[in-house]
A and B are shown apart, each in its own frame.
Chain A
């Protein structure tokens, strides 16, 4: 169950000229370190992403990246500690998706993560989440010592 399903949606509708400027909706969630608790949150976000016009490979990739980011936050960041939370934000517009996933763990250094495609790592059962996130999202970066992950995907037809 989400600790707080604060689905705050801040944004603006049509501008003063009534040009129907796209609304950028921001969604904010704080959830327990429980995979089941994340399913509803992921679906809410992805419904908005799809409604914003993302489809096909883009939608597939955003879905996978979000799932992997949350799984990493729970499993590796929070070490599945039920007392720790995952903070998720999504800003969605027809031109761009911005996702933020933050855990309450000790942080990590991206440079220390082994390449899962190296021969010696290919048969390992884990370690591919970051590779998939970076493969499908346009920009990916960490701050706050590795506890906060930000991902951006711009619609390929955006100008």
Chain B
């Protein structure tokens, strides 16, 4: 049953694309596929993409969602881009810590800190 609401809202802060999830649960495969597709478009549209993923609405995510994020991270690095994650709630942060993906991603507490952390 497809939800017609876009899975993410995308805004621009200078040369940084800010992606905010519209669904509090990045769990089901259809949703994850849609998000991954959207991220790929954003990564492909410029030479050195700068992407900030804002998780403040996210209450649940699955290992499939983590895989989607890793794929995005790999694609961004191939293009010498930068990726930041921000606004991750404690229960979600624990998932990143258990899987040690907090070592792979640059995770900042909030959007403001994340925006400031991008190298020019």
Number of A-B contacts (CB under 8 A): 54
Question: Do A117 and B104 touch across chains, with their CB atoms under 8 A apart?
Answer: no
Question: Do A67 and B62 touch across chains, with their CB atoms under 8 A apart?
Answer: yes
Instruction: Encode A115-129 as 1/0 by CB contact (under 8 A) with B.
Output: 011000011111011
Contact of A116 among B27, B99, B103 (CB under 8 A): B99
User: B-contacting residues of A (Cβ < 8 Å)?
Assistant: 35-36, 39, 57, 60, 63-64, 67-68, 71, 116-117, 122-126, 128-129, 131-132, 135
| Shortest distance from the beta carbon of B54 to any chain A beta carbon, whole Å | 20
Given contacts A36-B28, A63-B60, A68-B62, contact A125 B70 (CB under 8 A): yes
Interface residue B14 (Cβ < 8 Å from any Cβ of A): no
Scan residues 63-114 of chain B and give those whose CB is less than 8 A from a CB of chain A: 63-64, 66-68, 70-71, 73-74, 91, 94-95, 98-101, 103-104
Closest to A118 in B: B100
User: 24 A-B pairs, CB-CB below 8 angstroms?
Assistant: A35-B28, A35-B29, A35-B30, A36-B1, A36-B28, A36-B30, A57-B91, A64-B62, A64-B95, A68-B63, A71-B29, A71-B62, A71-B64, A117-B99, A122-B103, A123-B70, A123-B104, A125-B68, A125-B71, A128-B66, A128-B67, A131-B98, A131-B99, A132-B95
